[in-house]
Every structure is written in structure tokens, then in C-alpha cells.
Amino acid sequence: MGSIFSIQQVINGLQVGSIYALIALGYTMVYGIVRLINFAHGDFFMLGAYAAYGTFFVFNALIVSKSGVTAFFVLLASMAAGGIIALLTNQLAYRPLRYKPKLSSLITAIGVSMFLEYFLSALPMVGPSYRPFPDVIPRVNIKIGTATISNIVIIDILVAAVLMVGLTLLVKKTALGKAMRAVSQDKDAARLMGIDIEKGIAFTFLIGGAFAGAAGLLAGMTYPRIFPYMGIQPGLKAFIAAVLGGIGNIPGAVLGAYIMGLAETFASAYNSLIGEGIAFAILIVVLLVRPTGLLGEKTADKI
Amino acid sequence: MKKFRLPRLLIVSAVLFVVIQILHSREIMNGYILHIINQSLIYVILAVSLNLINGITGQFSLGHMGFAAVGAYVSGTLTSLVFKINPSSPNAMPLFILAIVAGGLAAAVIGILIGFPSLRLKGDYLAIVTLGFGEIIRTVFNNIDYVGGPRGLLGIPKFSNFPIIFAAAFITLVVVRNLIQSSHGRAMLSIRENELAAELVGIDTTHYKVMAFSIGAFFAGIAGGLLAHLLTLAHPTQYGFIKSVEILIMIYAGGVGSITGSTIAAFALTFLSEGLRIGIRAIADTTGLPIGGEWRMVVYALLLIFIMLFRTEGLMGNKESRIITIEEAD
């Protein structure tokens, strides 16, 4: 394998970082707009993976598999599942608590997360055990210099990049994106300007959930297995990435996610126990030294 | 002239204790129910001590079971590996109590360590950091081979019995009650209500936050030790994040800031949980449907969501029963 910092490790780190980035974006956008740590976000990721799994088998049964077409619809299904469940969660569980103390939303989010995980493990057709994830796209290994890279790695990094460019365009160029930014800056002023706040929040959940769903598909293809609790660890890591970048800040989440991905890959290559704990170590150091994260802005306490 | 008042909590507790002892000795109540009562009492200790941190002082902590894990492992290691207590020897009980207290003190030290970051962090950031600490504690025990690693610490002697657990729960209630009704408790409440204002009137917020964390952690450690000596093992998975959330559900169901509520909810939810376990198994057996134990947690999760949506203030709200409180002299 060579040294800890080989090209192979850098590419692996970028791949892990890409998956974290897609999840972290949803965390950071939701936090930016409603100031809520959406604990259930990792479960939207898990639901995306399960939706992809189901869609793949339906497609394989219905039509003779054309892997490109199938892959496209599988991606669409994973994003739709993540997005719609996120939207429903917002409307049913978070919206009634919008003007109650913030902690009640946080606890509700923990409840939603537990519900989604245990509900899927309780369903007889899903169950709590691991399932192997099918090869949506046949795995091919490419040799570049000393490193061996599978095409899945390249797909992970590319899909994440394309989605992130799309998000940037949406947030920066469209009226909807402008409304979302306005709501996250100042809700009351946005309302006075005639912006439908709830619509902005709903779209944020929809997009964040869809990104998490897509990440679920990518993670399923990468570590080819899925299970109902698969969202807990990546969700926590992605949240830490968002805090590291400065929560509420979109480029910060992506930066934080890639840093986390690389740090974790290098640390695991060194020692697996350190790899397990490095995320929390990073979190605690960041919160103690620079609680607003790398790109976050400092806000003063209002008296 | 001050009127003499009967210590109500002491009387009610004594009556309950005697009734349960008699019911058990006459075999009206079987060992299984007594076991659930023991577990409920341990959850009372956990919920009341978490309520001191979350409900009274307003410092949202998600890693309470981490403290319990410290207590369980430290006391379990002492009794089973260090003292190697012979259950029939006359000094078994004193050594056991010493081990439990040592577990509590170790947890309190960890509580002080975790209390410090809380000085800088608020609300959901604190929640995440305490969650992280809880997971780190669990991961550490999972990787120490001396205490069994992922297999858990096995062969802990079964020293916890109803009188000891009952006494521990009673002491926890009295200490936390007295603390809340003292000037220290008022200072903690003021931090919950408005930290900035509390600081401006000269309350040493740092001191009281660390105090809440260390006392809460101490009792959690005691509870962990008692649990380990009741189940005769300590296993890393017993102290995960989901378990911390179960304690959290208890204090929110009972009412944040009400130790009466925490006590009632600890009993109600422990019995509900066992009831669901039996009920689900019975349904699965009679209908032949493949219904797993996961449905128990589905019900739990829905319960948490509905409490938050429809009765955010919990069963008791912010109120205490008159059994718990000391009446103020007029």
C-alpha cells in the first residue's frame, strides 16, 4: 500500500469526502434556514439507498437491463425518496414546532430519526440485517500509475461535483434560490418582502433530502451493502463536516466534507481506532478553538 | 413558631418499600416484576440526574449513558477483577458499596471534564459535543481488552438487590430535591431561564454548570454501577446513544424540570417497554406474523414525536408533587 499519504489514499479520501459533502449540504442548508440540527438527515441518506435498491430490481425485472438508463432512473429514485421524505418530515414534524423552543424541534428530529430506522428494520420486507447492494454499474478497475482506481470512485466524485454545481447555480441564479437565501438571512424581513417563508423552507428540505438520497446511492455502490442504520455514522460525520466548515455556509460544508474525508482516510490507514475517533476529535477541537467553523461568520449575542 | 412537618418523601418511600417487600416475600409479586421495579428505580436515578443537567440547568446533554458506562465499568472492574469479592464473606457488602461510590466518583470526574466545553457551547452544539463524548467513552471501553472489549465485562457478581437500589434512588431524589430548593438550585434555574441575565446579576454560571454536570454524572455513574451488578455484566452496546435518548424521553415525557415527572415517567416507560415486549411477542405467536422486537422502538419513537408535538411540556410540566417538595416556612 505504501505510505499513508499515497495518491491512492488521496483519491479514497476525495471519494469519502464527496459522499460526506452531499450529506453535509443538506445539514448546512437546513441549519442555515431554520437553525435546526436535523438529526433525521442521515436517515434520508439511508432511504435513498433503499429506494435505489428497490428501483434497480424493479427495472431489472421489467426491462432487459440497459445499465446507463437503469442507473439514471435509480439515481432519480434515490433523490426522489430522500427529497420527498425530507419534505414530509418538515411538514408533519418540524413545521408545527417552528415557533416553539428550539430544543423541542431537536428532540422531535431525534424521534423522527429513530422512527425511520426502526420502522424500516421492523418492516418484514426490509428487516434489520445487511443486504448486498447490486452492481448498478459494472465495476471496472483502472490503473493510473501506482494507484488502482475503480470506476465507482470516479462516478462518486463526478456525480457529487455535478450536483454541487447544480446547487450553486440554483442558489445563486434562480428566484427560488434568492428566496431561500433571503429567508436564511432574515425571516421577518423576507416575509415583509412578500417571500413565502414556508415555501422556501420546504424547498430547502426537498433539495437537502434529495442530495442525501443521491449520497445514499453512491454509498451503496461504493461499500456494496445497505442496512437500516447505515445513516447514523455518515450522518454524524457529515454534520461534523458542516460544523467544521461553518454551519449554515454552503461552500464551507463542501470544504469541511473533503477535509473530513481525507483526514479520516489518512487516520484509518494509520490506525483503525484513531480513524474511528478522529471525527469527534476534529469536532471538539473546532468547537473549542473556532466555534463558528472555518468559513462561518461570528455572530454577536443580542441583548 | 415553626410547625413540625412530617418528611413526606420519607414516609411515602418507606410505605412503598415495605409494601413491595411484603408483596414479594408473600410471593404475590414474582421475581420478574421485582426485576422490572429494580430496573425502573435505576432509570429513576438516571432520569432525575439527567434532569438536573438538562431540565434544571438547561444544558442539553445527549451523552448521559456515557457517565453510566464509566460507573458500570469502574465498579464492575473493582468488584470482579480487583477486589475479587467472595459473596459470602462478611465484608462483601461494604466493598461493593465502596466500588459503586468509586464508579460514581469516576463518572463525576468525567462529568467535570465534559462540563468545561459546555462553558463555551450552547444549545445544539453542546448536544452534539456531549453525544460525541458519550460515543468516545463507549468506543474506549469497546477497545480495552482488560474489561472485555466488544465482548463486554462479564462475570460481575450480582450484588444489586431491591433494598440497595431503592436506597440509592431515594438518596438521589433527596439530594437533587434539596439541591433544587437551595440557593444553588435557584442559580441553576436562572441559568436555564436566561444565562446572560444570570451572569449580570452576579451568578457564577461556570461554577454552576460544572456543578450540575458533575453531580448529574455522579448519580449516573452510581446507576451504571447498580445496573452492572444487577445484570451481572457491562456491555458497550448498553450505553449507546439510543439509550441516552431513552433517558431523554423519560425526562421530556415527565416534564422538563420536574423530578416528580422524571420519577413517574421512568416507572411508566420501563413498564410500558416490558409490556410492549411481551405484547408484541404474544401477537407474533398467536397470529404467526413476522413481527419483530423493533416495533417496540417504533412505538417509542412515535411516542417521543407525539409528546413533542402535542404536549411539549410533558406530563407534569414544570410542577413538582407535594410529596417531593419541602414546604417553605411561612
Query: Could you tell me which chain B residue has the CA closest to the CA of A35?
Result: B124
- Domains in chain B: how many in total? 1
In a domain, B1, yes or no: no
Kindly provide the residue ranges of all beta strands, DSSP E only, lying in A101-228, ordered along the sequence.
131-132, 141-144, 147-150, 225-226
> Is there a contact between A118 and B305 if contact means CB atoms under 8 Å apart?
no
Among B128, B248, B291, the residue with its CB nearest the CB of A283 is B128
User: Of B31, B50, B39, B76, whose CA–CA distance to B218 is shortest?
Assistant: B50
Work out the number of other CB atoms within 10 angstroms of the CB of residue B258.
26
In a domain, B51, yes or no: yes
Kindly provide the residue ranges of all beta strands, DSSP E only, lying in chain A, ordered along the sequence.
131-132, 141-144, 147-150, 225-226
Residue with cell 420536574: B258
Give the pLDDT score at A122: 87
Among B143, B196, B301, the residue with its CB nearest the CB of A303 is B196
Give the pLDDT score at B253: 86
Which residues of chain B neighbour A288 with C-beta distances below 8 Å? 117, 120
Give the pLDDT score at A3: 63
> Is there a contact between B117 and A287 if contact means CB atoms under 8 Å apart?
yes
Give the pLDDT score at B321: 79
Q: Give the number of A-B residue pairs with CB atoms closer than 8 Å.
A: 105
Which of the two residues, B63 and A3, has the higher pLDDT score? Answer: B63
Give the pLDDT score at A66: 66
Give Dmax over CA atoms of chain A in angstroms.
65
pLDDT in tens, A9-44: 888 899 999 999 999 999 999 988 888 889 899 999
pLDDT of residue B330 exceeding 50, the answer is no
Q: Give the span between the Cα atoms of B279 and B289, in whole angstroms.
A: 13
Assign B53 a pLDDT band (cuts: 50, 70, 90). very high
Give the pLDDT score at B320: 79
B120 part of contact set with chain A, CB < 8 Å:
yes
Q: Give the span between the Cα atoms of A236 and A46, in whole angstroms.
A: 13
The residue extents of the domains of chain A are 7-289
Range of the domain at B104: 8-13+31-310
In a domain, B114, yes or no: yes
Q: What is the CATH number of the domain that holds B159?
A: 1.10.3470
Assign B2 a pLDDT band (cuts: 50, 70, 90). low
B295 part of contact set with chain A, CB < 8 Å:
yes
In a domain, B330, yes or no: no
Give the pLDDT score at A1: 47
CATH 1.20.58 describes domain A7-289: no
CB burial of A25-60 (b: ≥16 within 10 Å; e: otherwise) equals: bbbbbbbbbbbbbbbbbbbbbbbbbbbbbbbbeebe
Q: Where are the alpha helices (DSSP H) in B144-258?
A: 162-181, 183-193, 195-200, 205-231, 241-254
Out of A104-108, A291-295, B174-178, the most confident range is B174-178
pLDDT of residue A207 exceeding 60, the answer is yes
In a domain, B81, yes or no: yes
User: Of B43, B242, B243, B73, whose CA–CA distance to B152 is shortest?
Assistant: B73
Query: Could you tell me which chain B residue has the CA closest to the CA of A117?
Result: B298
Q: What is the mean pLDDT of chain A?
A: 87
> Is there a contact between B298 and A119 if contact means CB atoms under 8 Å apart?
yes
Residue A80: DSSP 8-state: H
In a domain, B319, yes or no: no
Q: pLDDT over 90 for what percent of chain B?
A: 39
Question: A226 phi and psi, to 5 degrees?
Answer: -135, 155
Positive or negative torsion for Cα B26, B29, B35, B41: negative
B143 part of contact set with chain A, CB < 8 Å:
yes
Distance from CA of B256 to the nearest CA of A (A): 11
Assign B311 a pLDDT band (cuts: 50, 70, 90). confident
> Is there a contact between B128 and A112 if contact means CB atoms under 8 Å apart?
no
> Is there a contact between B139 and A276 if contact means CB atoms under 8 Å apart?
yes
Q: What is the mean pLDDT of residues B132-139?
A: 83
Q: What is the mean pLDDT of residues B33-39?
A: 93
Query: Could you tell me which chain B residue has the CA closest to the CA of A240?
Result: B128
Q: What is the mean pLDDT of residues A272-294?
A: 79
Distance from CA of B294 to the nearest CA of A (A): 5
B194 part of contact set with chain A, CB < 8 Å:
no
pLDDT of residue B1 exceeding 60, the answer is no
| DSSP state string for A215-271 | HHHHHHHHS-EE-TTTTHHHHHHHHHHHHHH-TT-HHHHHHHHHHHHHHHHHHHHH-
pLDDT of residue A204 exceeding 70, the answer is yes
Distance from CA of B16 to the nearest CA of A (A): 33
Which residues of chain B neighbour A285 with C-beta distances below 8 Å? none
pLDDT in tens, B216-230: 999 999 999 999 999
pLDDT of residue A141 exceeding 50, the answer is yes
> Is there a contact between A118 and B301 if contact means CB atoms under 8 Å apart?
yes
State the helix-helix crossing angle for B241-254 and A102-122, rounded to 10 degrees: 130
Which of the two residues, B178 and A103, has the higher pLDDT score? Answer: B178
Assign A250 a pLDDT band (cuts: 50, 70, 90). confident
> Is there a contact between B301 and A101 if contact means CB atoms under 8 Å apart?
no
pLDDT of residue A303 exceeding 70, the answer is no
pLDDT in tens, B104-129: 999 999 999 877 766 777 777 788 78
Distance from CA of B93 to the nearest CA of A (A): 38
> Is there a contact between A110 and B242 if contact means CB atoms under 8 Å apart?
no
Among B60, B139, B196, the residue with its CB nearest the CB of A277 is B139
Which of the two residues, A300 and A72, has the higher pLDDT score? Answer: A72
> Is there a contact between B129 and A115 if contact means CB atoms under 8 Å apart?
no
Among B121, B124, B305, the residue with its CB nearest the CB of A37 is B124
Assign B9 a pLDDT band (cuts: 50, 70, 90). confident
A188 part of contact set with chain B, CB < 8 Å:
no
Among A115, A276, A303, the residue with its CB nearest the CB of B305 is A115
Q: Give the span between the Cα atoms of A78 and A211, in whole angstroms.
A: 9
Give the pLDDT score at B247: 92
> Is there a contact between A284 and B305 if contact means CB atoms under 8 Å apart?
no
Give the pLDDT score at A2: 52
Q: What is the mean pLDDT of residues A171-200?
A: 89
